[in-house]
Amino acid sequence: MIKSVMIIPLVILILFSTNTFANKPHAALTMQDSVGEPGDASKVTRIVKLTQVDYMFLPNEIWVTQGETISFVVKNRGDHRHEMFIGTKKDLKKAVKMRRMFPDEDHLEPGLIILEPGEQKEVIWYFDQAGTVEFICPLPGHSKGMRGIIYVEKK
């Protein structure tokens, strides 16, 4: 009797922690190793405007279709310097770590823009695979709240 009482909660926990039962939008989309690549300005299919306020992106969820080349026009309306970096989870973690280790250096990864307060810049990205892609401001203390997800839906 004791074993079955302990097993039932464990089974329920496992079922509800899998993507099959998770209550997430587009749960069928998964993170890919490839998140695309810098895009060609002559092939932009759509412009998506983003606003950075201190410690938040607006919007922080974006939907695109596989094969689209998106021009992200980003405006820093905050009082601090911010960045926008598109990448894999591994790339994003590495960027956050590098900013902590070398906070005064400018970093130049593909998919990165650096914005001073009031500045507006553009990053163009081609999405070659369906899945989810993340973006963050990797500066120290910013990445926990300044993040978002790009849902890349299959054609």
pLDDT for the residue numbered 33? 55
Instruction: Give a yes or no: residue 10 inside a domain.
Output: no
pLDDT along the chain (155 residues), means of 10: 46 37 34 73 97 95 97 97 91 87 78 94 95 92 91 94
Candidates 51, 95, 98; CA nearest to 75 is 51
Instruction: Give a yes or no: residue 14 inside a domain.
Output: no
pLDDT for the residue numbered 31? 40
pLDDT for the residue numbered 15? 37
pLDDT for the residue numbered 34? 61
pTM score:
0.74
Instruction: Give a yes or no: residue 79 inside a domain.
Output: yes
| CATH code: domain of residue 143 | 2.60.40.420
Sequence-separated (6 or more) residues with CB below 8 Å from residue 150? 62, 63, 64, 86, 127, 132, 133, 134, 135
Instruction: Give a yes or no: residue 17 inside a domain.
Output: no
Residue 40 buriedness (CB in 10 A; 0-12 / 13-18 / 19+): exposed
Domain of 141 in residue numbering reads as 29-153
Instruction: Give a yes or no: residue 41 inside a domain.
Output: yes
pLDDT for the residue numbered 64? 97
Instruction: Give a yes or no: residue 120 inside a domain.
Output: yes
Q: Structural domain tally of the chain? A: 1
Candidates 77, 17, 44, 60; CA nearest to 147 is 60
Instruction: Give a yes or no: residue 81 inside a domain.
Output: yes
What angle (nearest 5°) sits at the alpha carbon of residue 60, between those of residues 57 and 108? 60
